[in-house]
Structure 1
Amino acid sequence: MSITRDEFIPRPGVVNKQGYLPDPEELVCIEVPKVFDQCLIKRCLIFDDGPDTDDTDEELRSDPIDNPRIFIGCRDFDLKLCSVEKFPIAGKPGFKKVIISFVISFFADFIDTCGKTQNELFEISRTEVIPKLYCPDSIAQISASFVPVCNSRDLDPEIVKLEMVAECLDGTFTCDCDGNEVLDVTLGFHLIVKCELIVQLLIPAYGYCPVPNQCDEEPEENPCERFERAPVPKFFPDQMLDPLFCNCSEDDD
């Protein structure tokens, strides 16, 4: 049995029971970027001199560093899309060959022989080619006005967007050809390339979201009282033991 509108509080959440929502209040038209096509690029890169390949990059070597001892890891990854080129594919309307240029930047941390934490900034310039991606041209041309009203500009309804998850898989100290100590990083990343168009979508709606509750204040608490309420910790870690007997029955033989 579905709930009534009076019982329903419109808010974001998981719809865990089919048919329990009341009828929407209205159908609304919203303007949003819609994904028309996307693909995943997965790379594991190591340092190597020369032109970049699918497995190597010459920018994965740091500048000379002093007395490195232990590589810690990488942090503060950032992604910047620099340029996009799209070329129509003959005989396949809407499909394009897409060439993207982007920069991945991050800091690599290491500990020197004095026990101090040092870091090196890496900026990796990459170019990737997507042989076929469905990127249809928008029929409509969009021009929007901004405050002040006389200030208006044309907007590109077609969007190429990048999403990335990256990590440093390894870091190795070595010497370059001049005898300087350097850090070579192995970089792994997952890159999603999306082709989007700004479109109008018709969706059911329950009106505007309600005003949220007031932010809770965390009361000050005596640390000893909090300690007294806490459960007694386990004094020993769990043992990793194999079972003595097989779980299978004789019928399984």
Structure 2
Amino acid sequence: MGYEHDRVVPGLINERDLGKIREAVCVQVEKVFDSCREKDCIENAPVLFPDSAKMRWIINNAVNVKCRRAEVLDVFADIEPVPFKRGFFTVDIKFFIGVTLDFFLPRRPGTVPTSVAGTDIIQRTGVILFDKKVILFGSEGNVKIFRARFVEGDVDEPISHRVQQGNQPISKVEVAEPICLDADIQDIRDKLFENCCCVSNLPRNVAELLRNYDDDGDTRDIRDEELPTRRVVATVGLFSIIKLVRLVQLLIPAFSYCPTNKECIAATEENPCELFDTIEFPLDEFFPPQIFDFPGAVEAEEDMKGKKGRGEQ
């Protein structure tokens, strides 16, 4: 922490700050009782698309597919106690991961050449599903929390007549943006599979996103395919941290109240250029960092060269 007129302010703490502790305060916070981190490679997961004649035609006629990017659209989690193991809970998690794919199709006569000779590129976004289950310690305890809002000169107003909150364990799933590793088209003659065009069974917000992505204004003449003969699969790398937290009261040392001393800077009609002047020029956007600017990148490259020389994969 630093000092401002002999007051401790937010920042790094040192030994001198410890002598300025004023009181012990009781706060109600979400305490993390247990957590774990996961690094999952989701291999050859079927990609779901809106079940339309256009989408079936694209998949059945594509000569290649490339995975452009991936993002987590939604996460569902369910907590259940582990039988005969007090304080432990299973956390069942379902990830809905959107993947944007480039489909390479034979070029239509008379079209403007694209970046790939002899092909048209159509971009579509689908979704893959990934389930996982972990066991974490969440402790015990079960209380109901009711709240009311103070009303001066009248009866206090209940915020709700239902339970506002409890101290049962709460799951929290933190995810980094996935890495799109690979995509492929499988033929039904090579590998049997179920028809997975069941967008209606997806959460409403995810299904709506897919329907919005499906229409790109392409007026290509498409005949209705009776049955899909191929499907798309994608391989995605996913990093996540799963936590179990409970609402608890903790006793912590406090220095004092934390007043806000910084003045807000607002962009108004009078000073938009003044605000712009405070923004540093983004040199990195114009001059991307080179390999030796990234910590460990040169060493990683040498390691890969060494593995290649030894014939390792």
Aligned to 1:98: 90
1:148-206 CA distance string (max 9 Å, x none): 52524322312122222352342233243177554321122233221111111122332
Aligned to 1:157: 167
Identity among equivalent positions (%) equals 18
Q: How far has the Cα of 1:117 moved from its partner?
A: 5.6
Secondary structure of the residue aligned to 2:174 is strand
One-letter code of the match for 1:201? L
Asked if 1:119 is matched to 2:142, the reply is: no
Asked if 1:14 is matched to 2:72, the reply is: no
Asked if 1:141 is matched to 2:151, the reply is: no
Richer in helix (by share): 2
Aligned to 1:245: none
Q: How far has the Cα of 1:46 moved from its partner?
A: 1.2
Aligned to 1:167: 178
Structure 2, unaligned runs of 5 or more:
50-54, 106-113, 115-119, 151-156, 189-226, 266-273, 282-286, 293-297, 299-313
1:126-153 CA distance string (max 9 Å, x none): 14142xx222122543223469525243
Native 8 Å contact 1:5 1:22 kept in 2: no
1:51-106 CA distance string (max 9 Å, x none): xxxxxx4x34666435465625223323422422222434xx42x24141323222
Q: How far has the Cα of 1:3 moved from its partner?
A: 7.8
How far apart in 2 are the matches of 1:117 and 1:22? 65
How far apart in 2 are the matches of 1:212 and 1:4? 15
Normalised by the size of structure 2, how large is the TM-score?
Answer: 0.54
Match of 1:24 among 21, 43, 51: 21
Structure 1, unaligned runs of 5 or more:
48-56, 227-232, 241-253
Are the structure 2 counterparts of residues 45 and 76 from structure 1 closer, same or farther at C-alpha, using a change threshold of 3 Å? closer
One-letter code of the match for 2:145? I
CA RMSD of aligned residues (A): 3.8
Deviates more, 1:200-209 or 1:175-184: 175-184
Richer in strand (by share): 1
How far apart in 2 are the matches of 1:189 and 1:127? 12
Q: Which has the higher contact order (CA 8 A, sep 6+)?
A: 2
How far apart in 2 are the matches of 1:108 and 1:68? 17
Q: How far has the Cα of 1:116 moved from its partner?
A: 4.8
Are the structure 2 counterparts of residues 20 and 127 from structure 1 closer, same or farther at C-alpha, using a change threshold of 3 Å? closer
1:156-195 aligned at under 5 Å gives the runs 156-158=166-168, 159-177=170-188, 180=229, 182-195=231-244
Aligned to 2:257: 207
